[in-house]
Amino acid sequence: MGKTQNAVVSYIDSNYPENFMKIIMILTEALSLFKNLLNDLRGKRSLVYLLILAFAVSIASGFILYILDPNIHSLFDGIWSAWVTMTHVGFGDVVPTSFLGKPLRKCVDNLCLTAMIVLIPLNIRTIHVKDKIMCRLGW
């Protein structure tokens, strides 16, 4: 082991209780945020349906990419590439290179962009109308 590795190991060993408590606090906060997310989603079925649709499209298009493109080496790579394309992150680590893979990826990209442009405002409008009705009813 080199000097740097020894220093890191000794730091981790000497600060183990503090580091462990920090990890526990972070995990507790993450669990609390996850519970809040689930509570928020419980009342908004349309948002849940949008998430299910997004996962279904990414799995289906990832499977098609896996079959069509030789640069996509596993089903997970295909799903990852589709998800990254759909969310417009564009890491570039898994990219289709075949004649059919490139247009498929562009179609998925355009489909998801169109869906976001249409469905997100509809979802926001639905939530706004529901809140107005609840406010009028005094809830």
Contacts of residue 77, defined as CB under 8 A and 6 or more positions apart, other chains included, come to: 62, 66, 94
DSSP-derived 3-state class of residue 44: coil
Least confident of 9-18, 88-97, 107-116, 118-127: 9-18
Instruction: Read off the pTM.
Output: 0.55
Write out pLDDT tens, residues 74-110: 888 888 888 888 776 777 777 778 888 888 878 877 8
Q: pLDDT band for position 49 (50/70/90)?
A: confident
Read off the pLDDT band of 32 (50, 70, 90): confident
Q: How far apart are CA 55 and CA 46, in angstroms?
A: 14
User: Percent of the chain, pLDDT > 90?
Assistant: 0
Check: CB of residue 1 under 8 Å from CB of residue 9. Answer: yes
Mean pLDDT of 29-41: 82
Q: Are 64 and 111 in contact (CB under 8 A)?
A: no
pLDDT at position 48 is: 76
Q: What pLDDT is recorded for position 127? A: 66
